[in-house]
Amino acid sequence: MAPALMRLALALAVAVVGCCAARQPGGRVDLWPMPASVSRGARTLYVARDLKLSTAGSGYKDGKAILADAFRRMVAVIQLDHAINGSYHGLPVLAGVNVAVRSPDDELKFGVDESYKLTVPATGSPLYARIEAQTVFGAFHALETFSQLCYFDFVLSVTGLHWAPWTIVDKPRFPYRGLLIDTARHYLPVPVIKSVIDSMVYSKLNVLHWHIVDEQSFPLEIPSYPKLSNGAYSYSEKYTINDAIDIVQYAEKRGVNVLAEIDVPGHAGSWGVGYPSLWPSATCQQPLDVSNDFTFKVIDGILSDFSKVFKFKFVHLGGDEVDTSCWTTTPRIKSWLVQHGMNESDAYRYFVLKAQKIAISHGYEIINWEETFNNFGDKLDRKTVVHNWLGGGVAEKVVSAGLRCIVSNQDKWYLDHLDATWEGFYMNEPLTNIYNPEQQKLILGGEVCMWGEHIDASDIQQTIWPRAAAAAERLWTPVEKLAKDTTAVTARLAHFRCLLNERGVAAAPLAGYGRTAPSEPGSCVRQ
């Protein structure tokens, strides 16, 4: 066995003991991601079968019932389909949860206050946990944390909660904590996308980056240009615009923004299936034709339709891996370049900046992959967020230039790299070599990327989890509370991975690489 795997096996062996200890007062705090501040006592409570939601003292009226729905989901999660049929006679019973939200607003905006305070008393009659939050979205996070305090007591057949009283004060380290899914390389049915959103909530990720289209497939119906979806793999592997609305609304009700991406001008060969004039030629199909006004009319139509569906303040316009050779080998485009005094690099910049202006006209701020910054960073609109993916050193250059940045460096945070271990995901620090506090604020956060070449509905969840959770703690937990050695968190992450399995999320074992399988019979936490 390799030394690294031997260390992991030892840590997971310890996790088995730790898991048992976690069921008793004095054991480890098994919360993921770790909150900013935690204190606890030593008393065991039992959670009422009909746990009640109270909103006494709240300024939030819950007109859309999203808090009530979140509470019902939380109760279902802690009961885990067990028969809660034991007797509560003589037991200290937690009767309910009082949720006091200060703000009446429930519009999910970027940078919304996600902080909360959760207290669980040890005495009182009736006993109520209390959640205080500025917004309903902070309350959602508190409910998730509360759910992780609970467990099923197999002796009493009721739900238990150890170590009361609890006081947990918490808020995220970064406002942007993302997960990319790719529906162009393989189609992901709507229920699968929703299941991914549900699983994001468990580790407090808050942005679903939907890489909708690429050169292989254009699966989304666009009302302004309906033939674009002719580029889908098949008649059934498509999303209607109402599907997109449904996904966005589903995510928002769980505190997750949906970031839509159309990658231009490269990665766009599928666009020309329905509109061949978008291709430079029938034999040289991408990047999109920079010389054709129709190209930009189509982009304008897409973004106009997007603005009615995707309410997140950002739109992702791609801009990566652009091979401009089709522009110079197609005579009419080459002639256009000469006429406008442009070379290939000029045309690439012209295309990206024109697409940015279109997006801004529809009320968006823009995210572009880092190649745009690397090639003409000083020309980018100041509303641009640069998405780092190629490697280290870029983020510090971006913030030094005064632009915002999202970190997804592929050597650490690409989930399709199956040799990228959870330890690498955990230790990847977005603020590496960025020491100026004002520049640190320009790092919005980070994103793990589940590119779809080798995943579909059959294996997406076990490829995402638990490695994405390792990054989620890096993005949520205060830096001073993050482990400097991953062996310190192995047992806790193993417990969380088992919790995901219990909740129906097909999270893979920790022992091994991405999307690994259990090696032998044994306990979940040993894997």
What are the residue numbers of the active site?
321
CA 298, 300, 304, 306 dihedral sign is positive
> How deeply is 477 buried, as exposed, middle or buried, from its count of CB atoms within 10 A (0-12, 13-18, 19+)?
buried
Look up tokens 């019979």; give the residue: 521
Read out DSSP for 331-378? HHHHHHHHHTT--HHHHHHHHHHHHHHHHHHTT-EEEEETHHHHHHGG
Look up tokens 């497939």; give the residue: 217
Q: How far apart are CA 305 and CA 224, in angstroms?
A: 7
Sequence letter at residue 121: P
Q: Are 147 and 78 in contact (CB under 8 A)?
A: yes
Return the exposure string of 360-384: e unless at least 16 CB atoms fall within 10 Å of the residue's CB, then b.
Answer: beeebbbbbbbbbbeebbeebeebb
Question: Can you list the positions of beta strands (E) in 93-205?
Answer: 93-101, 116-120, 127-133, 150-153, 158-164, 166-170, 176-182
**Residue 37 CA, distance from chain mean position:** 23
Residue 472, CA distances (Å) to 174, 176, 221, 452, 493 in order: 10, 10, 32, 20, 11
Edge-to-edge strand order for the sheet containing 166-170? Answer: 37-39, 166-170, 116-120, 127-133, 93-101, 43-54, 158-164, 150-153
Which among 94, 119, 206 is positioned nearest to 169, based on CA atoms? Answer: 119
> How deeply is 500 buried, as exposed, middle or buried, from its count of CB atoms within 10 A (0-12, 13-18, 19+)?
buried
Cis peptide before 226 (omega within 30 of 0): no
DSSP state of 35: P
Q: Mention every residue, 6+ apart, whose C-beta is less than 8 A from residue 287.
A: 264, 265, 266, 268, 280, 322, 323, 324, 326, 327, 351
Which among 471, 434, 394, 458 is positioned nearest to 180, based on CA atoms? Answer: 471
**Residue 32 CA, distance from chain mean position:** 15
Residue 386, CA distances (Å) to 202, 433, 446, 507 in order: 27, 17, 11, 30
